[in-house]
Amino acid sequence: KAGVTQTPRYLIKTRGQQVTLSCSPISGHRSVSWYQQTPGQGLQFLFEYFSETQRNKGNFPGRFSGRQFSNSRSEMNVSTLELGDSALYLCASSRDGGPGANVLTFGAGSRLTVL
């Protein structure tokens, strides 16, 4: 079956612009999470969406936002870009079958460079 698809894979923006990244989860997966990876901070959790609602949020400023659509596809947006937003943005999906172990499947990521 198809994996988690993220678009675009690479993009370059300038400071002050905004960017929207897209994530299509594995069919049947209802939970979508976003992560930021930088050399200095490592992998950090941004937020998680489930049934079109934000269920968890990491410690990031309000410039980082997201949403989930009825088909479970998700987008994240970063407004007023800063140089420090340059990172690999990863999306992960999960079936979320209830209590117990839940395995995340990650996409290949979107690499954002802010100039």
Residues engaged in binding other proteins (CB under 8 A): 4, 31-33, 35, 42-45, 48-50, 55-56, 58, 88, 90, 92, 94, 96-109, 111
Contact 63, 54 (CB under 8 A): no
Compute how many other C-beta atoms are within 10 angstroms of the C-beta atom of residue 71.
10
Nearer to other proteins, 79 or 96 (CB): 96
Nearer to other proteins, 42 or 62 (CB): 42
Alpha-carbon span 100 to 66, nearest angstrom: 26
Nearer to other proteins, 86 or 105 (CB): 105
CB of residue 105 vs other proteins: minimum separation in angstroms? 7
CA-atom Rg of the chain in angstroms: 14
